[in-house]
Amino acid sequence: MVNPIYIFITSLGAAFLLNLFQKINRKIADLIFFLTLAVINYISLFWFYQLLQGYEAAKIYTAGFLPPYSINLYLGIEEAVFLVLINLLGFFSAVYLYKKFREISIKAMILYLVLIMGLNGLVMTRDLFNLFVFLEITSITTYALISLEDNKYSLTAGFKFIIAGGLVSTLFLIGTIYLYRLGGSLNLDFLVNSGVLNTKAGILATFLLVFALLIELKPFPANGWALDVYQSVHPGIAAIIASASSAAIFFVIYKFIPLMPSSFLPLLAGIGGVTFVFSNLMGLKQTDARRLLGYSSIAQMGLLLAALALIMQFDNLQSLSSIIVIIGGLFINHFLAKAGLFWLAGIVQKRNIRSWKIIANNPPLLLVFGGFILALIGLPPFPGFWAKWELVMQLSANNMMVWVWIILAGSLLEAVYLFRWFGYAVKNTEVEEIRTEAAQYLPVLIFLLGLLYLGMEGTHLVSGADSIYVLPVLLGVILYVLNWLPNKLKGSLCLLAVIYFSYRLLPALQDIYQLFGVVFLIGSAVLLITTFARKDIFKGFYPLLIIMILSLGNLLQAKTSLQFFLSWEFITITSYLLILRGKFSLKAALIYITFSLAGAYLILAGMGLAFRDTGVVSLAGLASIVNSGYIYVLLGLGFLIKIGIVGFHVWLPGAYTEAEDDFTPFLSAVLSKMGIFGLIMLAILLGEPVLKGIQLNYILGWLGVLTAFFGALLAAFQEDIKKLLAYSSLGQLGYIVLALAIHSHLGWVTSIYLTFTHLLFKGILFVAVAGLLSRVKTRKMYEMGGLINNMPLTFISVLIAIIALSGVPPLSGFGGKWLLYSSLLEKGWYLQAGLAFFASTIAFLYCYRILHSVFLGQPKTALRDVKEPSVWYIVPQYLFLFGIMAISMYPNLILKPVMSAVSTYFASSIYWEDYTVISSLGYWNGNAVMMVTMGVFMIPLLWLLFRIKAVTKVKQFNIVYAAERPDRPETTHYAHNFFAHYQKALGFLARPKVTEFWGNIAEVIHSVGALFRQLYTGNGQTYAIHILIFLLISYFILGVK
Amino acid sequence: MTVISILGFILIIIGLWGMLTQKNIIKMIIGFSIIDTGLHLVIVSIGFIKGRTAPIISKAVEGLDTGKNFIDPVPSALVLTAIVIGLAITALMLVYAVKLFRFKRSLQIEDFEELKW
């Protein structure tokens, strides 16, 4: 047993001796410095281990007296956790700072040792005055260490810090001395039992004490000084201030909770919540990387404070494990990630977040950066994810929904600025290299690994989690390590993994789930072939892709809402990172992740409500909820945002267009279906909920048909081929949602049938476009033309896909339309049917445009020698093509399994006679339709072939300009502004009103952030006034009289 | 509330006023010092009990029941620590003032507002 008092003895002793040894040899002094840090690490780790084994906590009495006559220290398991973390950070930050320490005198090392010792003391002491002493020790050493960076900025920041710190210690001392006067003791444990809180003066004294500590946690708006400090001090010191010092102060506040009257808790929670939201709001406008980290740090401590104060207020205090998950998760997550990010800021050496693009030259650093960013936002597989999940669940269970919204809103704001920053880092255009040294690099890496390890551990702690659902990450890591393999081999490994996963998963799934399994996994497997065409070295592509695809599968087998949400988040993150790989996708990817996360948070809130009503996290439990309207709206809206329903579709065209060409097929053909799956799952579990007398499915139906209409309309006016297909995809999803909303056997059959056919033809089209764009370096259709001779194979598959898409006989799309109109008429939704029909006619327009502008018409001179794309683009197209032909000839191949799957939930309303499907309104014989259409097609074809000699070949530009002078050559091609006449008639519907709307919202939020940060004038005196005003306002809110 | 503690609070408020209104950094530091002095008076006054003597065991108090004749020794002990700490902080503030002056040739607090927002 090592007495914990040796932590103080060794560090103080070493601090005194360092100066002496330095006189002999600086190297020896350095060695002693690190040895001391190692020793205190050993002591704290030793105690942590002992206490875990169930040993009794250490009570240390000084001067041979029992408290309250002496100062006493206490080291229990909670203290041990904080000590271990603080000392670990102390050690690694020292390693990180070593070079800086060498440059300046030994005094910096002495100060550093005393600072770490002070933090240890803050955690362990139970004596108020001793606490004050340790507080001052840490403050004074921090002030002195700030001046390590001997520049104007750190000095001004340090001075502002001293002023604030001086006020804090004054308040603390007044509180302490009056508590002593009233309670007769300085010992925390004695004061708690002294009845001092029964007096108003006692409450006032406690208030001063607690608020002095609170200021040290940098609450909004009394924190201007802290931001300056974060911005200007050496990153190694900033890491200590942001993580270790904040941790110690947080723990002190935690120690004080038994002393506080219960009326303090709501106020503490409020202050934490306000700090969390406002810091993140103001962070939106910040461009200095370190100041941004400061905002984020303050916000996170606010969240932690709020979480602590809220948990303490719960009526039924939840199980210990959920408290550990929430507080421990949030705390450790921030502790490791923030320290790591500050260190990283020191390595990168760039102030402006836009200049962080140099990090892209250094993939390991980029990986670390991305990991920390994900962790801070609270995304899996990091501890913060579990903590936020559990926090939302427990808040909901305790009917604190307002808090759920506050926390989710703040998290979203934080995600926006952190992802924006990350986006800048990924887009590399610089050749500048980052100089890294092992001493700086190592601590960062170790902290990230720590975060990952603890995140994985989270699966054992949180109820409803399962480690299977984080396995995809492991596979991704393995693939990342295998990066040196040739691309085709990596792709094949991926393909094998997906096929094996399908082989294991699909038989285990049931009815509709199994069908979606086929869409997700088999669809992805076919699309994977496209990626074999890649030639360049690209890190991270396959790892991200495999995580995404396997998580899609996991989504289907999720038994609890946590498993579902976890997989959902994995897909969101990986797809965001994959979109971000596109050359110009910076903005599009940010919009995508913002909407996706907003949707995910709605889902999370819905799941919280469900947990409140059922008390379990199992998905099947949803079915037992009686009043499920709100849950349906929240979850449904989350899924609809992912689909890109009209009103929330602004992310879709950008993301589809700017993603890499061979990733867009995944987005459209596979990923868009996860929202559809969510909606179907919701309908299976909740049926047709009603909210305040409104049939929600009716609204859903209208949303679907409007999406179909606007998607088609917007597609018709695009010049960019990917954008056209993106809007077309949106429109098609609208049909699927519409059919789903009908909520009948026929409706669902239609919906799933359309899901399948959409996978097939959109898969073809996007792969074909990817192939096309691999040869033609423009996405503008009017710059192409006449490619039918250059790429006949692509032309044929596009032609077939377009026939299938437009829904004309004889291909599968016709069946889809027939089923859709049948089910709509059966339901009696005539108006919707009419609008859907109108939308389909618009679809003809854009379908025709692709064929005409790209493949027909006059060839462009520049594109005369273009060849057929590589075979890897052709194979998946023809696999899908085969699928289309098969189900067009024999619709029962697909309709039979779909019908039987749906009949688990509805009585069947259609039946079969040989190849004919019969509904109450008519019948459809796919085989016969195919034969007849083929016949009708063959006759004119034969006639034209017979007359082929009458054709006259026309040279390019052999046309007459009718009184118009073309300003640019391409404008003579009427493929440019193809539907000008329709635009005149209907263009007003296609104006980007929704995009403007969301743009305005973003603008307003940013402006509000800009407005609030004007509070931070930079004047140290103003900051001191802020502290006083903050104190007074808090006092009045408390209403202590 | 004894007269001394009231005096102490008056000093604290005067010091606070100085710290928040004076634009000169040296004057702000003086304000801080006044706050500190006031604070020390308050602490000492808490332990004072009328008619009793200083808690120093010497020949003069031999034979007396120290528990009944001494004032409360704890605040006196505390104030010593507080004075030392206050001194350290004041010294550090002055060092900062000197260093700041070297950079800008100015001691006006408004001249150090580069970091903001």
Q: Can the peptide bond before residue A266 be classed as cis, meaning omega within 30 degrees of 0?
A: no
Q: Name the DSSP class of B112.
A: -
Nearest to A1013 among B43, B92, B117 (CB): B117
Kindly state the DSSP code that residue B24 receives in the 8-state scheme.
B
pTM, two decimals, is 0.94
Nearest 5°: CA angle at A267, between A280 and A198? Answer: 160
Distances (CA, A) of A430 to A362, A433, A437, A580: 12, 8, 21, 17
| Residue located via tokens 């790591």 | A340
Instruction: Quote the mean pLDDT of chain A.
Output: 90
B1 and A CB contact within 8 Å: no
According to the model, what pLDDT value does residue A962 have? 46
Closest by Cα among A768, A770, A774, A759 to A797: A768
- How many whole angstroms separate alpha carbon A512 and alpha carbon A838? 30
ipTM for the complex shown = 0.96
Task: Please check whether residue B58 is in contact with residue A110, taking contact to mean a CB–CB distance below 8 angstroms.
Answer: no
As a whole number of angstroms, the distance between CA A581 and CA A658 comes to 9
pLDDT at A430: 64
The string over A812-831, giving b where at least 16 C-beta atoms fall within 10 Å of a residue's C-beta and e elsewhere, is bbbbbbbbbbbbbbbbebee
Query: Using a CB-CB distance cutoff of 8 angstroms, which residues of chain B are in contact with residue A62?
Result: none
Q: How high is the pLDDT of residue A837? A: 92
- Integer CA distances (angstroms), A648 to A94, A334, A725, in order: 49, 32, 18
- The pLDDT of residue A811 is 86
- Please give the residue that has the higher pLDDT: either A104 or A724: A724
Coil, strand or helix: which one is A690?
strand
Distance separating alpha carbons of residues A836 and A824, to the nearest angstrom: 10
A291 with A231: CB under 8 angstroms? yes
For B78, which residue in chain A has the nearest alpha carbon?
A: A129
Higher pLDDT residue, A480 or A987?
A480
What is the end-to-end Cα distance of chain A in Å, rounded? 49
Query: Measured between alpha carbons, how far is A522 from A498 in angstroms, rounded to an integer?
Result: 8
pLDDT of residue A956: 55
Using CA of residue A656, residue A662, residue A668, residue A672, what is the dihedral sign?
A: negative
The CA–CA distances, whole Å, from A142 to A89, A99, A841, B89, B109 equal: 15, 19, 71, 12, 21
pLDDT of residue A66: 79
Q: Does B105 touch chain A (CB under 8 A)?
A: no
Which range has highest mean pLDDT (A415-429, A733-747, A775-789)?
A733-747
**A129 contacts in chain B (CB < 8 Å):** 78, 81
Portion 51-70 of B in contact with A at CB < 8 A: none
**Amino acid, single-letter form, for residue A858:** Q
B19 shares contact with chain A (CB less than 8 Å): yes
Tell me what pLDDT residue A436 has. Answer: 75
The residue ranking higher by pLDDT, A753 or A933, is A753
Residue A953, pLDDT > 90, answer: no
**Residue A332: which pLDDT band, with cuts at 50, 70 and 90?**
very high
Check if the beta carbon of residue A348 is closer than 8 Å to that of residue A98. no
Say if residue A315's pLDDT is above 50.
yes
Q: How many CB pairs under 8 A join A and B?
A: 116
Strands (E), A809-913: 911-913
Chain A: residue whose CA lies nearest to B98: A155
Q: H helices within A199-328, ranges in order?
A: 200-216, 224-232, 235-239, 246-256, 264-283, 289-313, 320-323
The DSSP annotation for A941-964 comes to: HHHHHHTGGG-----TT-----S-
Residue A1018 has φ and ψ, to the nearest 5°, of: 95, -5
Give the span between the Cα atoms of A40 and A12, in whole angstroms: 11
pLDDT at A876 over 60: yes
pLDDT at A435 over 80: no
Tokens 């004038």 identify what position? A1017
Going A625 to A630 to A631 to A636, the CA torsion angle's sign is positive
Question: What does each C-alpha distance from A266 to A76, A254, A415 come to in angstroms?
Answer: 27, 15, 26
CA nearest to B23 within chain A = A1021
Higher pLDDT, A587 or A989: A587
Handedness of CA A21, A25, A29, A31 (dihedral sign): negative
- Which two tokens mark A24? 């002999």
pLDDT (tens digit, 9 = 90+) per residue, A442-461? Answer: 999 999 999 999 998 888 88
Please give the full DSSP string across B26-87, using - where no structure is assigned.
HHHHHHHHHHHHHHHHHHHHHH--TT-B-S--SGGGTTS-HHHHBPPHHHHHHHHHHHHHHH
Q: Is the pLDDT of residue A22 over 80?
A: yes
Query: Residue A590's pLDDT is what?
Result: 95
DSSP states of A474-488? HHHHHHHHGGGS-HH
- Per-residue pLDDT, A318: 61
> How far is the C-alpha of A543 from the C-alpha of A138, rounded, in Å?
44
A 10 A CB-CB count for A194 gives 18
**What backbone torsions phi and psi does residue A333 show, to the nearest 5 degrees?**
-55, -50
Phi, psi (degrees; rounded to nearest 5) at A536: -70, 165
- pLDDT per residue over A115-152, tens digit each? 999 999 999 999 999 999 999 999 999 999 998 778 88
pLDDT in tens, A185-226: 899 988 888 877 778 888 999 999 999 999 999 999 899 999
User: Which residue numbers in chain B have pLDDT < 50?
Assistant: none
Mean pLDDT within A15-32: 92
Q: Supply the pLDDT for residue A535.
A: 79
Q: What percent of chain A clears pLDDT 90, i.e. is strictly above it?
A: 66
pLDDT range class, residue A968, cuts 50, 70, 90: low
Q: A151-178 pLDDT, tens per residue?
A: 889 999 999 999 999 999 999 999 999 9
Asked if A175 and A212 count as a contact pair (C-beta separation under 8 A), the reply is yes
What number of other Cβ atoms are within 10 A of residue B27's Cβ?
Answer: 15
Question: What distance in Å separates the CA atoms of residue A312 and residue A323, rounded to the nearest whole number?
Answer: 10
What count of residues does chain A have? 1041
Exposure string of A337-359, with b = 16+ CB inside 10 Å and e = fewer, is: bbbbbbbbbbbbebeebebbbbb
Q: How far is CA A594 from the centre of its chain?
A: 8
Q: How far is B37 from chain A (nearest CA, A)?
A: 11
Nearest to B32 among A166, A232, A1016 (CB): A166
A402-408 CB contacts, 8 Å cutoff, 24+ apart: A403/A269, A403/A273, A403/A306, A403/A310, A404/A605, A404/A608, A405/A605, A406/A273, A406/A276, A406/A277, A407/A273, A407/A276, A407/A303, A407/A306, A408/A601, A408/A604, A408/A605
Per-residue pLDDT band at A546 (split at 50, 70, 90): very high
* Record: contact A1020-B42, CB cut-off 8 A: no
Categorize the per-residue pLDDT at A263 as very low, low, confident or very high, splitting at 50, 70 and 90.
confident
- The CA-atom distances, in angstroms, between A420 and each of A292, A383, A427 are 12, 22, 11
Partners of B78 on chain A (C-beta within 8 Å) are 129, 177
Q: How many CB atoms lie within 10 A of CB A956?
A: 15
Q: Which domains does chain B have, with CATH numbers?
A: 3-50+71-111 (1.10.287.3510)
Containing H/E element for A681?
A: helix A672-686
Q: How far is B86 from chain A (nearest CA, A)?
A: 9
SS3 of residue A810 by DSSP? coil
Q: A129 and B109: CB-CB below 8 Å?
A: no
Summarize the confidence of residues A958-963 as an average pLDDT.
50
